[in-house]
Amino acid sequence: MISKVSRLVIVSLGLATIGLSGCSQYVKKTDYDAAIAQLRANDQKQQQQIDNLTQEMQQKFAKYDAQITQMAGRVRVDAIAHFAFNKSNLRDQDKPLLDDFAKTVGSHYPNAIVTVEGFADPAGSRAYNLKLGEKRAEAVRDYLVSTGGLSANQVRAVSYGKAKDRLVDPGKSHAQGAPNRRVTLVVDFAGQPATS
């Protein structure tokens, strides 16, 4: 039979072992502070890259009257391409801006991730307009890839169809709805700038 003192020693050793093993999971304050500083430095670096890309695009695309905005670490370029009613064919007048976009992003930010957002005016059903917006986004995506500036795995296409909160002119369709029948480009991730 184990004496009370022996039991007390065994229990004490067990608790000490458990306590010490629990302490091994703690992070030192210096290590924590270093990790936080590294995350902040990376965040600042990415923000600087987005700022640089935004500034470069604003200078490059000023002649096209394209609206360029920054939003939560992303860059959005509006007024890229518009489409005829019920059509998904890319217009010739929109191609120069798309060419410049692909060249700018492809040559300066070769790892950028771009989302092409397709939209429709409110005429037609929700399902139909989602499909039409997708065809418009795919037409622009395919053009960006074919110009040689961007690779297929860098450019995604998504459709918002006739989503009410994304319409430029709510309720306008047919002849008055041209601003709603559009594609917008969003640079979701700029990546590292190309080295000269």
Q: CA 17 → CA 23, 27, 53, 158, 192, distances in Å?
A: 10, 19, 55, 56, 47
Lowest mean pLDDT among 19-28, 124-133, 172-181: 19-28
Residue 141 tokens, joined? 């995506």
Rg (CA), the chain: 27
Q: What is the structure's pLDDT at 183?
A: 94
Q: What integer best gives the mean pLDDT of the chain? A: 82
Quick check: is 79 in a domain?
Answer: yes
- 122: domain range? 27-189
- Report which of residues 115 and 78 the model is more confident about: 115
Quick check: is 76 in a domain?
Answer: yes
The whole-angstrom separation of Cα 111 and Cα 92 is 27
Quick check: is 31 in a domain?
Answer: yes
- Report which of residues 20 and 147 the model is more confident about: 147
Q: Give 141's contacts (C-beta < 8 A, 6+ positions apart).
A: 116, 155, 156, 157
Model confidence, pTM: 0.68
Q: What is the structure's pLDDT at 44?
A: 81
Q: What is the structure's pLDDT at 151?
A: 92
Quick check: is 9 in a domain?
Answer: no
Q: CA 15 → CA 2, 8, 21, 24, 123, distances in Å?
A: 18, 10, 10, 14, 72
Q: CA 191 → CA 38, 41, 105, 150, 186, distances in Å?
A: 17, 15, 10, 13, 14
In eight-state DSSP terms, residue 71 is E
Quick check: is 128 in a domain?
Answer: yes
Quick check: is 98 in a domain?
Answer: yes
In eight-state DSSP terms, residue 83 is -
Q: What is the structure's pLDDT at 17?
A: 62
Read off the pLDDT of residues 29-72 as tens digits, 9 standing for 90 and up.
Answer: 888 888 888 888 887 887 777 777 777 776 766 666 566 666 66
Q: How many domains does the chain have?
A: 1
Sheet harboring 74-82: ordered strands across? 67-71, 74-82, 182-189, 113-119, 155-161
Read off the pLDDT of residues 119-148 as tens digits, 9 standing for 90 and up.
Answer: 999 999 999 999 999 999 999 999 999 987
Q: What is the structure's pLDDT at 91?
A: 93
The whole-angstrom separation of Cα 141 and Cα 154 is 10
**Polymer length of the chain:** 196
Q: Which residue has the tokens 């191609």?
A: 95
- Report which of residues 196 and 93 the model is more confident about: 93
Q: What is the structure's pLDDT at 69?
A: 67
CATH of the domain at 51: 3.30.1330.60
Quick check: is 112 in a domain?
Answer: yes
Q: What is the structure's pLDDT at 24?
A: 57
Tell me which H or E stretch contains 133. helix 126-146
Quick check: is 194 in a domain?
Answer: no
